[in-house]
Chains A and B, each alone.
Chain A
C-alpha cells in the first residue's frame, strides 16, 4: 500500500469511524455545534489531503513531463 492510499483513507476514518465519539452538540466551535464542526473540519482536511496526494502522485508528474 502506497503513502497516497494511506492518506486517502484518513478522511474515511475521520468522517465515518469517529462519528460515534463526536456525536454531541457542545462545545460549540467557530459557532458550530460540535458534530457539525467535526464534519466540516474533515471536509476541509479532505481538500488538503487530496492536494498532498496530487503532489505526491507520480501519475501527475509523468503527464507534466509530456
Chain B
C-alpha cells in the first residue's frame, strides 16, 4: 500500500463517516430523506447546487477538453453563468409551488401541474434514462481517478466497487443530509486542489499563465479560439443555450432545489454562483499545461491529462490528495443521483400502480431501490465504454426535453395539455435517440445550408420537434374537448 492510496482511503472513510453521521437526530421520512425537510439555508443549497458543477466531468472532462479541444472548452463556464441568471427567476417559482403542494420529486411537479400521474411516469423514465449514463460517467471517472492516483495498485473495477458501496451506504442511511455534508468536504478539497494545481503547474513548467498560453499558441496556432467550422461560434452559442435550458432539468438538481428554506436562497446564490464557477478556470489551466508536457493522449485518453501531469510532477502523498478530491467529485453527485432515481421509481412509478401503498412503505422502497440502481449503473459502467463527454451530452439532451412542458406549466394561463406535454416529451426524446444513434448532425441533415447553420448543436432540432408536437397536440385536444363541451350542452 503506497502513500497515495492511504490518503485516498482516509478521505473515503471520512466522507462515509460524515455521510452517516448526518442522519443524527432526524426522523427519516421521505420528505426528510429526499428534500431535507425543506430547511436548508443558503450555504447548504449552495453546496448542493455547486455539487452539480464540480463533478468528475469538470475535474477530468474540463481538463480533458482543454487538452484535446482547446477554445471550445470555454463553453463550460459560459453556460454556468447564464444558467444562474435563469435560476434567479426559475427556481423560486418551482420552489414556491413545490412547497405549497408538498412535492418531493421532479416528477411530482409535472403530476401536480398537469394533473396526470401517467405524465409523472413518463418524466420519471426520461429522468432515470438520463441519470444512469450520468452516474456511469461519475463511476468511470472515479475508477480512472483512483486507479491512476494509486499508481495502478488498485484496478479501476475495484475502485468503482468500493466507491459505489460507500455511496450506497450513506445514501440509504442519511439521504440528502449525507450529500450535503460530504459536499462540504468535497468543495473545500476541490477548491484547494484545483486552485493550487491551476497556478502551480503553469508557473512550474512555463513560468506563468501567459507564457503557457503563448507556448501553446506557438505550437498550435488558433487552438485557443473557436475553429472556423465544427465547434465554431454558432456551435458555441447553440450548445450554451441548450445546456442552460437543461441545467436545472436534471431530476437530482431540480429535486435538491426543494430543500431550500426560502426562495431568497436562490436569488442570493444567483449572485455568488457565477464567481464560484470561475474555479473551473484553474481546471482548464491544468489541461492547457498538460498539452506540451504529456503529449500524445488521444481521444478519450485526454481525460487523463490532469492525473498524468500530476503524477509526473508531485510526490505520491499529494497525488493521493488529488485522487481523494477526484473521488469526492464522483460520490457527491453520485449520491444525489442515486437518491433522486430511487425516489422517482418508488414514488412516481411504483405508487401509481399500487395506490394503496402507505407513505412509510414508499419511503422504505425508495431506500431499498438505492442498491438496485447502483447495481444497474455498475453493470453499464463495466459493460459500456465511451468517452466521458459524449455520454453526458446524450443525458443533457434528454433532460432538456422536459424544459418546454415545465416552462409552459409555470405560465398563468397554460395552453399545453397533459397529452401535449407527453407527446412533446416523447417526440423530443425519440429525436434525441435517433440523432445520437445515427450520429446525425445539422450539416448532414441539411448539407445545402450555410456552414454557421450546419454547426448548430443538433439538440436544437429535437427541441423544435418537441415544441411543435407539444403545441399541435395541445391545440387538437383543446378543440376536441371544446367540441365535446358544446355537444354536451346541446344534449
Contacts and interface: CB of A to CB of B under 8 A. Distances in A.
Given A16-B237, A31-B213, A57-B267, A44 B88 contact: no
A50 B274 contact: yes
B53 to A, nearest CB: 12
Interface residues of A, number: 35
Contacts of B92: 59
Considering residues B80, B224, B263, B278, which has the most beta carbons from chain A within 10 angstroms of its beta carbon? B224
Given A12-B85, A47-B274, A33 B217 contact: yes
B277 A43 contact: yes
B71 A35 contact: yes
A40 B268 contact: no
Given A15-B81, A25-B225, A35 B74 contact: yes
B77 interface: yes
A16 B242 CA distance: 12
Interface in B207-255: 208-210, 213-214, 217, 221-222, 224-226, 233, 236-237, 240-241
A5 to B, nearest CB: 9
Interface in A7-66: 8, 11-12, 15-17, 19-20, 23-26, 28, 31-36, 39-40, 42-44, 46-47, 49-51, 53-54, 57, 59-60, 63
Given A11-B85, A33-B217, A28 B271 contact: no
B275 interface: yes
B111 interface: no
A4 to B, nearest CB: 9
Nearest to A55: B271
A25 B201 CA distance: 21
Tell me whether chain B's interface is mostly helix, strand or loop, or mixed.
helix
B78 A39 contact: yes
A36 to B, nearest CB: 6
A8 B88 contact: yes
A33 B225 contact: yes
Interface in B249-286: 262-264, 267-268, 270-272, 274-275, 277-278, 281, 284
B82 interface: yes
Contacts of A51: 271
A43 B210 contact: no
Contacts of B222: 25
Given A23-B226, A23-B233, A63-B264, A31 B209 contact: yes
B264 A11 contact: no
B84 interface: yes
A11 B456 CA distance: 21
Nearest to B209: A31
Contacts of B263: 63
Contacts of A28: 210, 213-214
B167 to A, nearest CB: 31
B281 A40 contact: yes
Nearest to B273: A47
A54 B42 CA distance: 15
A20 B397 CA distance: 24
A44 B267 contact: no
Contact of A15 (B78, B88, B208, B271): B78
A35 B66 CA distance: 14
A13 to B, nearest CB: 11
B233 A20 contact: yes
B85 A32 contact: no
B74 to A, nearest CB: 5
A43 B274 CA distance: 6
A51 B240 CA distance: 23
Contacts of A42: 78, 81
Contacts of A47: 271-272, 274-275
B82 A11 contact: yes
A44 B221 CA distance: 28
Contact of A19 (B84, B210, B237, B267): B237
Contacts of A24: 225
Given A16-B237, A60-B267, A32 B213 contact: yes
A40 B262 contact: no
Given A19-B236, A31-B213, A47-B271, A40 B278 contact: yes
Contact of B240 (A15, A40, A46, A63): A15
A4 B80 CA distance: 20
Contacts of A35: 71, 74, 224-226
Contacts of B270: 50, 54
Contacts of A54: 267-268, 270-271
Contact of B74 (A8, A20, A39, A60): A39
A-B CB proximity, top 8 nearest? A31-B210, A31-B209, A33-B224, A20-B233, A46-B274, A46-B81, A43-B81, A47-B274
Interface of B: 71, 74, 77-78, 80-82, 84-85, 88-89, 92, 208-210, 213-214, 217, 221-222, 224-226, 233, 236-237, 240-241, 262-264, 267-268, 270-272, 274-275, 277-278, 281, 284
